[in-house]
Amino acid sequence: MPDKADLQSVLDRAVAGGRVTPEEALELYRHAPLHALGQAADAIRRRRYAGVEHIATYIIERNINYTNVCVTACKFCAFYAPPKSDKGWTRDLDDILRRCAETVQLGGTQIMFQGGHHPDFGVEYYEKHFAAIKKEFPQLVIHSLGASEVEHMAKGSGVSVEEAIRRIHAAGLDSFAGAGAELLPERPRTAIAPLKESGERWLEIMETAHRLGVESTSTMLMGTGETNAERIEHLRMIRDVQDRTGGFRAFIPYTYQPENNHLRGRTQATIFEYLRMIAIARIFLDNVAHIQGSWLTVGKEAGQLSLHYGADDLGSVMLEENVVSSAGAKHRSNLMELIHLIRTAGRVPAQRATTYEHLVVHDDPANDPVDKHVVSHLSSTAIEGGTAHPELRLIDAN
């Protein structure tokens, strides 16, 4: 083990604004005392957000899963159905627009349009749907998809990735959600998603999007059997692209859920591994503005703790979500509870926009919202009690 004084000197350098090497990040992730790691990460957060360091943000959004039909068959996924399966479905456009209307009514500002890699869906499908959403609800931000979907739709339509991005951006896509990153290093990515593009290709597509003016977030799926070194390599790959483009707004690590998928829970990340990752991400990703905690996968208590380990954002009141919920993430929350979690972590809650501007700062608890309708998973089919809207129809995928 490295000397604790040596580890502390690296942390002190990072707190002062110095850059940490991948080798140092791995040593810190493996060996630095948890509290020292968290203290350094929080100090970096406070320095970066001097003047508003007392604020932690959240967003109200809806994840509209438009189809579960998918050709990639990722081993960690419990959501997808193979083409021609009788379990496959696709939402019709009227259904999608009703969900958007409800999102607006509940104060939501963002749509995450995500689903499977349907063999019949090329660029034209996304152009049609994004244009329809923007026409009816111009106030909604479409923060959706990721490099994997772009690669799939471009091949399906026989166009370049650059053309696909230009066309869906023109139709209404505002930014990419960073979906499909999973694990970028070759060995763990091949092990869990052998039919997807490589991690290098994922980053190439994101770099193209950034160059075209379409920003994105970046993510990491923890706990599928990757090593500590591969986790740090994932961060290194993101940081290198960010040095060139500056297009990643945030980094969001989340944990593998073990139910109903081919990995069968053989390995999972612990809460301590997750908190260490939040902290090391804030320390190492000196060029990425925001670090988001994931209460949806690790639970509300761990999500709240992430605010003490370098996170400045607690994610969303997710009005609907079916993908990780299908794999066992059964955590639910609501607007009032999320505000309470932030406030009892010693921070002032603020509702944010997709681009992280503060929309509403809840600086006076007496003025906190009391609307009990703004709850997560209000119409998610993967969670019991979340099927509040049976009138929202599915159509046969085949």
Are 248 and 238 spatial neighbours (Cβ–Cβ below 8 Å)? yes
Is residue 377 predicted with pLDDT exceeding 90?
no
Distance CA 209, CA 291 (A): 21
Q: In this predicted structure, what is the pLDDT of residue 328?
A: 43
256-266 confidence digits (pLDDT tens): 766 455 666 66
3-state secondary structure of 112: strand
Give φ, ψ of 172 to 5 degrees.
145, -10
Give whole-number Cα distances, 34 to 7, 275, 277, 310, 314, in Å: 12, 8, 11, 12, 20
Q: In this predicted structure, what is the pLDDT of residue 373?
A: 73
- Unique residue bearing structure tokens 């090329």: 122
Is residue 59 predicted with pLDDT exceeding 80?
yes
Give whole-number Cα distances, 45 to 50, 234, 317, in Å: 8, 21, 23
Are 212 and 169 spatial neighbours (Cβ–Cβ below 8 Å)? yes
Cβ density class 257-281: b for 16+ within 10 Å, e for less: bbeebebeeeeebeeebbbbbbbbb
- Domain residue ranges of the chain, discontinuous segments joined by +: 53-396
Distance CA 125, CA 106 (A): 27
Is residue 151 predicted with pLDDT exceeding 50?
yes
* Interhelix angle 34-48/271-284, nearest 10 degrees: 40
106-117 confidence digits (pLDDT tens): 889 999 998 889
In the chain, the percentage of residues whose pLDDT exceeds 70 is: 87
70-98 confidence digits (pLDDT tens): 998 788 677 678 888 888 989 999 999 99
Distance CA 351, CA 359 (A): 5
Query: Residue 368 belongs to what H/E stretch?
Result: none
pTM of the model: 0.91
For residue 10, give both structure tokens.
């690296």
Q: In this predicted structure, which of 64-68, 260-264, 371-375, 393-397 has the lowest mean pLDDT?
A: 393-397
Query: Residue 292 belongs to what H/E stretch?
Result: none
Q: State the amino acid at position 334 in one-letter form.
A: N
255 Cβ contact list (under 8 Å, min separation 6):
221, 222, 223, 268, 269, 274, 294, 297, 298
User: Whole-number mean pLDDT of the chain?
Assistant: 89
Is residue 395 predicted with pLDDT exceeding 80?
no
Tell me which of 178 and 322 has the higher pLDDT: 178
- Binding site as annotated, residues for [4Fe-4S] cluster: 70, 74, 77
Is residue 335 predicted with pLDDT exceeding 90?
no
> Which candidate, 191, 314, 332, 341, places its Cα nearest to that of 254?
314
- Unique residue bearing structure tokens 């208590």: 301
CATH homologous superfamily of 53-396: Aldolase class I (3.20.20.70)
Query: Residue 89 belongs to what H/E stretch?
Result: strand 89-91
Distance CA 241, CA 122 (A): 27
Is residue 24 predicted with pLDDT exceeding 90?
yes
* Segment 46-63 mean pLDDT: 96
* Segment 134-162 mean pLDDT: 97
CB half-sphere exposure, 87, CA atoms < 13 A: 8
> Which candidate, 225, 134, 216, 137, places its Cα nearest to that of 180?
216
**DSSP at 72:** S
Is residue 325 predicted with pLDDT exceeding 50?
no
51 CB-contact burial (10 Å; exposed 0-12 / middle 13-18 / buried 19+) = exposed
Distance CA 112, CA 316 (A): 11
- Binding site as annotated, residues: 70, 74, 77
Q: In this predicted structure, which of 82-86, 295-299, 332-336 has the lowest mean pLDDT?
A: 332-336
Number of Cβ within 10 Å of residue 368's Cβ equals 13
204-220 confidence digits (pLDDT tens): 999 999 999 999 999 99
